[in-house]
Amino acid sequence: AARMAAPTRQERAACWGARDEFWQCLDRRGDGAAECGELRRAFEERCPQQWVKHFDKRRDFLKYKKKLETEGYVPPEAAGK
C-alpha cells in the first residue's frame, strides 16, 4: 500500500470516518483504551501514514487546548506552590 498518489475522495472519507470513530472511542473510554485497538488499526489501514502522524499530533494539541480552556494555564513556577 505504498502508493504515492494522493488519496481519492472515497479514501479520504474512509480515513476521516475511521479517525472519527477511533477518537470517539478514546473520548468515551480514555486514551490508550484496549477496546479502541481495533479502531486504531482500521484508522492506520485507511489513512496514509503521514496523516496518522498528523492526526495523532492534532489530537494531542486539541486535548491540550481543551485542558487549558477548562483548567486555565498554570505557569510552571506556580504549580509547585
What would the pLDDT profile of 37-81 be if each residue is shown by its tens digit?
999 999 999 999 999 999 999 999 999 999 899 888 777 775 555
Would 4 be classed as within a structural domain?
no
Number of domains composing the chain = 1
Would 75 be classed as within a structural domain?
no
Would 30 be classed as within a structural domain?
yes
> 29-47 burial, b if ≥16 CB within 10 A, otherwise e?
eeeeeeebeebbebbeebb
Would 1 be classed as within a structural domain?
no
Would 76 be classed as within a structural domain?
no
Task: Inform me whether the pLDDT recorded for 2 exceeds 60.
Answer: no
Would 79 be classed as within a structural domain?
no
Q: Is the whole model's pTM more than 0.85, yes or no?
A: no
Domain that holds residue 50: 9-66
Closest to 3 (Cα-Cα) out of 55, 48, 52:
48
Would 26 be classed as within a structural domain?
yes
